[in-house]
Amino acid sequence: MATKSNTDKITSDLLRPIRLNKSFVIWMGFLGVSLVICLGAYGLQLKNGMVVTGLGDYVSWGMYISSFVFFVATSLIGMLISAVLGLSGQKWASPLARIAEIIALAFASVAGIVIILDMGRPERLLNVIIHGQIQSPILWDVTVVTVYMIISALFLYIPLIPDLKICSEKLKNLPPFARNIYKVLSLNWNNTPEQNKIIKQTTRTIAIFIIPVALAIHTVTSWLFANTSRAGWDSTIFGPYFVTGAFVAGTAAVIIAMYFFRKNYKLQDYITDNHFDMIGKLLVLVSLVYLYFNLNEYMVPFYKMKESEAILIRDLFAVNHAVLFWSVQILGLVLPIILLLFKKMRKPLPMLVIGIMVLLGAWFKRMIIVVPTQEHPYLPIQNVPLNFKIYTPTLVETLITIAPFILVLIIITLLAKVIPIIPVHETIEQLEDAPISPKGDLK
Amino acid sequence: MSEKEEKPKKKSRREFLQDIGIVGVGTLIGGSAIFAGINYDKRKKQGERIKVLTAENELLEIEKSDTTKVTKSPLKNLTYLQKEGRDGLKGHRWVMVIDLSKCRNARKCMAACNDAHHLRPEQHHINTLKMQDAKDTPAYYMPKPCMHCDNPPCVAVCPVDATFKRADGIVLIDNERCIGCRFCVAACPYSARVFNWAEPLHSHEDENLTYDVELNVPQRKGTISKCLFSADRLREGKLPYCVSACPNGVFYFGDENEDAVTNGTTKETVRFKKLLEDNGGYTLMPELGTLPRVYYLPPKGKEYPFQDKDKKEAGERLES
């Protein structure tokens, strides 16, 4: 049974990180300065036009759009961990739900900003609403990403309500205004059975509703490409191919976040080795499914070698993009699957390294999907400068591409600083349900 | 402490629901306010008072019933040109026929086009490509404008209706509306579209020009440009810039409804359907279902040799 001391220990352990400390200030300062530098690069793009990028009339989508796809992809993890695993009764994942939701919310909100970076006329953004054309996949994307962002915010907020109350009561060293904010946001939570019931039901409803929306955001994003008649994009499996790829990227992001939160917030008792073991297995599962889709996506055209696709496949397998293509497939997908089959590799540190490999691979994989197709249109590229034929990103473009990543880190850092990243109320509740120590494996 | 907790506990559920209610009602009120505002704006437009622009360029508001219609040459302001550009030329269905047996890669079409539309040298509304279909088939030159498809993929994907299909068959761009997302560039299988990556060539000289949708001048940084079938010239009853500039009789241009096309060099007018029938006319990549309005006649019986220096470029795609 949950003893008072146990409850107190959990509360104090999980609320401990919510305070201003030196490392937080230094980290945020670093992020802030980097963001300013990147925004300066964006200022250059606004002033001189998109000529500051390596894009041209043939490869007109590059790092920005690849990043956009990556951001939407990573944000899907909220749905996988909190909704799918939650609904299917995988109790081990519940302490990770909030980390997944924070990542989902951060990436989904910034995805909208990434797409603005790619616009030649960002000041005309509202035209999308004023003159919106319902038959354009961009409209579908704007709609579903916005919906997903709102639902993700609710999915983070509703289960957080009890914790906000705990924060307002227990965080005695905070200034009164901060505790008042927690109090107002906790909507008079009093831990009554009725309230608990409402929260449970609401969370469950959102969990069910978020699944189709999450599938929609990445399917629609894949249709930005699949709905064109371009070699390499003209594919009917792009929807599921992108969705499964998204789970790989998102799981890797959660693993990396788990590692840093566990270490910096001293949460070894709550994010245990068992959690790493389980999420390592999850990564193997989603990676295998993704590998299967990769086989379909590349081997079927490779067998047929239709003219336009043959040019693209040759380029990917053996010519210009071969090094990147094989690095992404092997280091970012096949090798992690093999490594993670060993229990020794599913420990925190090796998992961090594998997670970084997979996440990097996921970003470059989007480049492999977006760029080479445009370098091989149906008609030859002639009478244009060489840089129109082969896409080489510029330094300014790279800095601008980094900006949204910094923004995501800022959002995650801030959220993880003001709310307990392991659900306090739920952890205590689980303790009441099953007589296990907080150190034990929450299976 | 325990007393404090006891007291609100009784009300808790109600208060909790109340708070959710307040948020909900707030959202509803906010939403309906926005909705009402939009409706109000709509009604205002349909209302009795209208805005008029005087000859002195003064904007006035008057009762609609006080106005009388004046018939005179309309003021060619932006709004007028945008509407005119979308309405198109009634009763016509423009088509182009390109005779590949005549093209010698003179590139006068490209030069005339770039000049008319204030394009940089690397921006091509029309691009003469060196082509070769298979290893043993002869190489040929192929001028490639926009196909002005009847099922245009670019128009379908545009999120803001900045690129549109007119009743007379022409696909145009309104660069005052274009947001520069370049989805149309990605969707076009003919690589017909160009983007203004930098400040356009004559942006200083063109500063005071009113934007003409049918000419796409002045070009705007951060927006798309493409072949317009010289819609401005068609309005004046003239042939497109490229068609008139060709010294070799490659281009025919005309109206499908009249079944007549005119050669830009010889000024000879022939039957459109018969020209296609007699010479084996075809369209580019019909399998994509884009239904191009630009037709090609095969490079049969060419009167000139394909330049040796161009052979490598023409066969590039076959080598790999």
Q: Domain tally for chain B?
A: 1
State the smallest CA–CA distance between residue B140 and chain A in angstroms: 13
Tell me whether residues A50 and B13 touch, CB distance under 8 A: no
Is the peptide bond between B218 and the residue preceding it cis, with omega within 30 degrees of 0? Answer: yes
- pLDDT at site A435: 52
Q: Which of A50, A128, A135 sits opposite B179 (nearest CB)?
A: A128
Q: What phi, psi does B163 have (nearest 5°)?
A: -110, 135
Q: How far apart are CA A11 and CA A4, in angstroms?
A: 11
- pLDDT at site B65: 73
**Chain A within 8 Å of B219 (Cβ-Cβ)?**
no
State the smallest CA–CA distance between residue B265 and chain A in angstroms: 24
B50 within some domain: no
State the smallest CA–CA distance between residue A88 and chain B in angstroms: 28
Q: What phi, psi does B295 have (nearest 5°)?
A: -110, 150
Using a CB-CB cut-off of 8 Å, the residues of chain A touching B316 are 380
Q: Residue B81: CB partners within 8 Å, gap ≥ 6?
A: B210, B211, B212, B213, B214
**Chain A within 8 Å of B36 (Cβ-Cβ)?**
no
CB atoms inside a 10 Å sphere around CB A262: 22
B65 within some domain: no
B66 within some domain: no
- pLDDT at site B207: 87
Residues in chain A, pLDDT under 70:
1-3, 434-443
- pLDDT at site B42: 63
* Per-residue pLDDT tens over the stretch B202-232: 988 998 899 999 999 999 999 999 999 999 9
Mean pLDDT over all residues of chain B? 88
B71 vs B277, more confident: B277
Tell me whether residues B156 and A135 touch, CB distance under 8 A: yes
b/e burial code for range A269-287 (CB count within 10 A of at least 16 → b): bbbbeebbbbbbebbbebb
Task: Give the helix ranges, DSSP H, for A186-330.
Answer: 193-226, 238-264, 273-304, 307-318, 322-329
B19 within some domain: no
Residue type for A367, please?
M
Place of tokens 């030859």: A380
pLDDT exceeds 50 at position B4: no
Beta carbons of B264 and B246 less than 8 angstroms apart: yes
pLDDT exceeds 90 at position B15: no
Q: Which of B12, B197, B223 sits opposite A190 (nearest CB)?
A: B12
The band of B27, judged by pLDDT with boundaries at 50, 70 and 90, is confident
Tell me whether residues B199 and A377 touch, CB distance under 8 A: no
State the smallest CA–CA distance between residue A21 and chain B in angstroms: 30
* Per-residue pLDDT tens over the stretch A189-246: 999 999 999 999 999 999 999 999 999 999 999 999 999 999 999 999 999 999 999 9
| Mean pLDDT lowest among B48-62, B232-246, B284-298 | B48-62
B211 within some domain: yes
Q: How far apart are CA B175 and CA B219, in angstroms?
A: 8
**Chain A within 8 Å of B239 (Cβ-Cβ)?**
no
| Mean pLDDT lowest among A115-124, A338-347, B16-25, B285-294 | B16-25
Place of tokens 């500051």: A52
Place of tokens 């370098």: A375
Q: How far apart are CA A427 and CA A270, in angstroms?
A: 9
B18 within some domain: no
Which CATH fold topology does A4-433 show?
A: Formate dehydrogenase/DMSO reductase fold (1.20.1630)
* Per-residue pLDDT tens over the stretch B99-143: 999 999 999 999 999 999 999 999 999 999 999 999 999 999 999
Residue A229 DSSP symbol: -
Q: CATH number, domain at B137? A: 3.30.70.20
Place of tokens 């670019």: B154
Q: Which of B12, B191, B221 sits opposite A379 (nearest CB)?
A: B191
- pLDDT at site A18: 87
Distances (CA, A) of A62 to A125, A371, B31, B157, B307: 20, 6, 37, 18, 35
Tell me whether residues B179 and A311 touch, CB distance under 8 A: no
**Domain span at residue B203?**
82-319
Q: ipTM of the assembly?
A: 0.91
Using a CB-CB cut-off of 8 Å, the residues of chain B touching A382 are 127, 129-130, 313
Interface of B with A in 147-176 (CB under 8 A): 153, 156-162
Domains of chain A by residue range: 4-433
